[in-house]
Every structure is written in structure tokens, then in C-alpha cells.
Amino acid sequence: MKIVKTIKELKALISRLKEEKKTIGLVPTMGALHQGHISLITHIRPQVDILVCSIFVNPTQFNDSDDLIKYPRPIEKDKQLLKENSCDILFHPSVEEIYPNNEPHWHLELGELENIWEGEHRPGHFQGVTQIVYKLFESVRPDIACFGQKDFQQVMVIQKLIELKKLPIKLSVCPTLRNQEGLALSSRNQRLSAKGLHEASEIYKSLQYVQKNICDKTPQLLIQDVKEKLETNSAIEVEYVAICEVKSLHEVNVIDPTKKHVILIAVWLEGVRLIDNLLLN
């Protein structure tokens, strides 16, 4: 596995590979890799000649400085995992490399996506996400880029970035990988105690409860049940939970059987913010 630290070196390497007509896949990450990340790699590995994975804890997408400081960075362990999973190129730049002093202002017209759910609760988050992903897309020029459904709204934002910038990139979306108790794998789970990890598995159970009862109760009642279940039986504090139509992410009061819906949730537990979602019908 080749480890690249600068954009210049990465672009030169990619140009050579493109001349050789190699197809390229990209998996962007912030590191502290777990099997969820690895599932993205295993998914696109057979579809491309060259697999690029990036590890960069992107400061511009953090609206909470404490979260940025505490974000785990076990780089040696990550390198080992990537080697074991047939990654060809690891792009692991410094913050100075990605954001030099003369960095131009970044703003992408994301429309409503920017002001709802994750956008509302993490102001500036999706501008930061698109800023870094666009830089990665420009440098790697991948044929396929893989993202996780775990970050449901992020996938929609990346799709919008691809459309707005007219990029010839196929977006591949992988299902959420969970632990045995159902908790979605996340780098932030490392910051939970054993008790917290166990309590956090209630999140998925409550999403499954909604999925099971979606035809029998109104969305409002189901949401109320979820909040009550989580907040009375555990230390979980719900930031938002909503049943939405998948294309617009607008919250619904009634389920239209001709449309698809998703439940989105964000919670706080032991000072850690966790998100999850589940397609409902």
C-alpha cells in the first residue's frame, strides 16, 4: 500500500494510473476504522483496478470543537487494517496540506438539505463535508466513490455535489453495519463506556419498533413512543427523531404508501453524539 501525504503527489500518481487506463475507487473516511468502513472497501474493491482510501479528520465539518479534539486518531492501526484489506493508496494529508493559508471561501448551494436535520443541528457541517469531498474528488478523480447509508443525509448532499459540479462519478451507497446488539458501528462509539455501548443499542431497537408498527400507528405517536422508550430506560437524550419522505427528507404526519420513508435519529449519550436511520417501507 502506498501512503501519500500531499495533493501534488496524489495528483501525479493518479495521472499516471489514468494514462494506464486504470479504474479508480475512492472511500473517504476520517479514520479510526471499523468494519463499517471496511465494508465500503470490500464493496468497491472488486469493481475497480485501484482502491484509494483517505483518512482526514476534516476540521471544517466539525461545529463542535470538543468533538474535533476528542475524535480518535489511531493511524498505525488504521494503516494495518487498510493493508489487510487490499487498499492500494492511502491518502493521509495534514490539515495544513488541505487548507493552506490562502484557502478560498467555500460555499455550495445545497438548498433545504443544509437547514434540516443534520444541517440544522450542525450548522456549517455539510459545507465542510462538501468542501473536503470536492477536494478529494478533484485529486483522485474516482470512477466510483463509496459512502455509507449510516450518514443518510450526507449521501444526499454528496449526490447534490456530484450533480452541481457535473462530476463523472458513480456514487455507491453501502448498508449500515451494526454490532451484534444492533448498534451502528461508528468511530465515536469508542468514546462510550461498556454501559453506554449497551444502552446505545436501544437506538436501533426503537427504529425497528417504528418499522414494525408503521402501518398501525401514526408517525406522531410512534415518535412519541421512541422518545419515551429511549429517555425513560436509558441515559440517552434525543436531539431529533423524525419520520420523513426519503426524497425530500420532509417530515410526514401520514404515511403515503406510494412513497418511501425513513426514520432519522440523533441522540446524545455520555457526551457523544450518535446518529442512525432505518428505511421503513
Q: How far apart are CA 20 and CA 92, in angstroms?
A: 24
Instruction: Report how far apart, in Å, the C-alpha atoms of 248 and of each of 108, 112, 262 are.
Output: 18, 9, 11
For residue 140, give the nearest of 35, 217, 28 by alpha carbon. Answer: 28
- Residues 7, 10, 26, 30: which binds ligand AMP (CB under 6 A)? 30
Is there binding between residue 60 and ligand AMP (CB under 6 A)? no
Q: Does residue 198 have an active-site annotation?
A: no
Is there binding between residue 251 and ligand AMP (CB under 6 A)? no
- Residues 36, 142, 196, 219: which binds ligand AMP (CB under 6 A)? 36
CB nearer to ligand AMP: give 169 or 174: 174
- Choose one: 120-128, 177-185, 192-200, 208-216; the region binding ligand AMP (CB under 6 A): 177-185
CB nearer to ligand AMP: give 36 or 119: 36
In single-letter form, the type of residue at position 2 comes to: K
- Residues 122, 150, 160, 227: which binds ligand AMP (CB under 6 A)? 150
Nine cell digits for residue 263: 426514520
Is there binding between residue 29 and ligand AMP (CB under 6 A)? yes
- Residues 25, 148, 196, 219: which binds ligand AMP (CB under 6 A)? 148
CB nearer to ligand AMP: give 48 or 255: 48
CB nearer to ligand AMP: give 26 or 223: 26
For residue 274, give the nearest of 150, 180, 125, 98 by alpha carbon. Answer: 150
CB nearer to ligand AMP: give 148 or 219: 148
For residue 148, give the nearest of 118, 189, 178, 116 by alpha carbon. Answer: 178
Q: Kindly name the residue from 34, 37, 43, 107 that is annotated as catalytic.
A: 37
Is there binding between residue 184 and ligand AMP (CB under 6 A)? yes
Is there binding between residue 145 and ligand AMP (CB under 6 A)? no
Q: How far apart are CA 250 and CA 11, in angstroms?
A: 40
Q: How far is the CB of 227 from ligand AMP (least distance, A)?
A: 23
Task: Yes or no: say if 186 and 272 are a contact pair by the CB < 8 Å rule.
Answer: no
- Residues 54, 127, 153, 187: which binds ligand AMP (CB under 6 A)? 187
Count the site residues for ligand AMP by CB under 6 A: 17
CB nearer to ligand AMP: give 29 or 206: 29
Catalytic residues, by residue number, are 37
Q: Residue numbers of the site for ligand AMP (CB under 6 A)?
A: 29-30, 36-37, 39-40, 147-148, 150-151, 174, 176-177, 184-187
